[in-house]
Amino acid sequence: MTQIFEPYNLGPLTLANRIVMAPLTRNRAAAGLVPSPHAAEYYAQRATAGLLIAEATQISPQAQGYQDTPGIYTSDQIAGWRVVTDAVHAKGGRIFLQLWHVGRVSHVDLQPGGAAPVAPSAIPAATKTFVNNTFTDTSMPRALDLEEIPAIVADFRQAAANAIAAGFDGVEVHGANGYLLDQFAKDGANHRTDAYGGSVENRARLMLEVGAAVAAEIGPERTGIRISPVSPANGVSSSDPQPQFDYIVDHLSKLGLVYLHVVEGATGGPRDVAPFDFAGLRRRFSGTYIANNGYDLDLATAHLAAGEADLIAFGRPFIANPDLVARLQSGAALNEINPATMYGGGAEGYSDYPTLSEA
């Protein structure tokens, strides 16, 4: 039971323990999609985690898919995130920023000029997004032209540079959960017949180009990536997840990325949603393996002891438990989440959950 609470070396960083706070969308960005005034307190409260991965943050105006999610492409956004990273570092914490392009999981009301969201192919996402203070169907996307794709890669690269300028210790490329890079990788969303569609190699191309560009910009030792090989999140599907993600992980490993963050099973759902050899991904990747999805202390302890993961990501438990590490270590009961304050709002249900000492 002690291994999870022991320090761990992640590239140039020494983490206080092996517990990771997974990125959690909370829809609380202020005007200009600058991080909420309460965000610095929220993240600093949770800085006892070995690593914080800040919420998914769009790399450009086109990359937005939900209302009130923060960006990392303007000077005001960079300055807003600097307040957050300073607060986390003052508490001795380490924090990465998750870089996000949602692709087709968006709505015309969120897109510049009311344009259609972009995607690998003009196939709508069978899911809803949060816009105009309600959940509504996503809009019909348009397929990206071949000549537009380099600009997407450039946006990821610039966003990574901006994140370092904002004081983050590194970034996580969001290649999971049915968003743009995952849409390109999976043939249920990608019907292209050019260099970015068809074969396993072609469908992996955009994710690998983004990973390479970000690593070249800020260093592979500060670049992680998140994938979800079998998750049906946001209506995405794949007919060949094992060969597809074996290939992707082999090439991500060659890039020397510092970690691979894997959603094992359906995001926020069952771990056994489809057959998949996650242990095989672990063996294929030379860096740190972060396991995610449905972990409690017992399961985390077992996987660490078996060498099946290096770090364990916890998501929802961190929402209501700013001192989750201390609660796990002491065996204390966890606070319950208030569902009504999950998305949007201010401090209530965000930075006002009590710690053990306050309770």
**Dist. CA 76–CA 169, nearest whole Å:** 19
Catalytic residue among 73, 179, 289, 343: 179
**Dist. CA 291–CA 310, nearest whole Å:** 8
List Cα–Cα distances, 159 to 75, 99, 253, 257, 263, in angstroms. Answer: 11, 7, 22, 17, 23
**Dist. CA 335–CA 352, nearest whole Å:** 12
Q: How far apart are the first and last CA of the chain?
A: 25
Nearest to 105 by CA among 148, 53, 134, 62: 62
Residue 343 among the catalytic residues: no
Contacts of 95 (CB under 8 A, 6+ apart): 43, 47, 51, 52, 53, 54, 84, 85, 88, 89, 168, 169
Rounded to 5°, angle at Cα 180 from 254 and 177: 85
Active site residues: 179
